[in-house]
Amino acid sequence: MTDAATPLADITESDPVDEDDAPALAGRLSNWSAALVPGLIGLSAAVGSLVLGIGSPAEPGPGLWPLIISVVIIAGSVLLMLKGPRAHGAEKFTGSSRPVLLGVLTIIGFIVALPTVGFEIPTLLLCFAWLYFLGRERLRLSIITSLVTTVLFYALFIMVLRVPLPRLF
């Protein structure tokens, strides 16, 4: 069953893949920011909590609990910085991070378009873009797969599950 005569054979033929699987580790800057960003979140939450009012231990105000958590987060962030940037194993952003950004942009497009033009066209386009541009699949395969996906989704969500999804047809 593993020979190439299966219908999926042309799908499994793949581009050469880098043997180097482990992603490169990040540099100093991103490790510092991994420690700094939570600290900033903690700080702003702490300020917000104080504004809300912390009350007293017997009558806790709305801000007491968030304040406690914020202090824990800030402490964690400080500890991370003290441990130094190397100990954390964050990964580097490289050229291969670009598809992620493009992927996020297509999803934003999908969310914006869905209420106005229905789900069919955005579904088709997102699927095609991910297959052809981000996945570097072949053109024919990309077109067929995205068409089939859209039709199946229509059948599943509209005809079987009857969910009130904005739609064109």
List the interface residues with another protein, window 67-86 (CB under 8 A): 69-70, 72-73, 76-77, 79-80, 83
- Under the criterion CB under 8 A, does residue 23 sit at the interface with another protein? yes
**In the numeric block, which tokens belong to residue 123?**
């579904």
User: How many residues of this chain interact with another protein, rule: CB under 8 A?
Assistant: 82
**Candidate list 24, 27, 40, 96; residue touching another protein; CB under 8 A:** 96
For residue 32, the tally of other CB atoms under 10 A from its CB is 17
For residues 80 and 77, what is the distance between their CA atoms, to the nearest angstrom? 5
Q: How far is the CB of 68 from another protein (least distance, A)?
A: 9
- Under the criterion CB under 8 A, does residue 29 sit at the interface with another protein? no
**Candidate list 47, 62, 151, 155; residue touching another protein; CB under 8 A:** 62
- Under the criterion CB under 8 A, does residue 147 sit at the interface with another protein? no
**Candidate list 29, 57, 140, 169; residue touching another protein; CB under 8 A:** 57
For residues 82, 84, 85, 89, the Cα torsion angle rounded to the nearest 10 degrees is -100
For residues 128 and 145, what is the distance between their CA atoms, to the nearest angstrom? 8
For residues 89 and 91, what is the distance between their CA atoms, to the nearest angstrom? 6
Q: Of 149-168, which residues contact another protein (CB under 8 A)?
A: 149, 153, 157, 161, 163-165
Cα(first)–Cα(last) distance of the chain, in Å?
Answer: 41
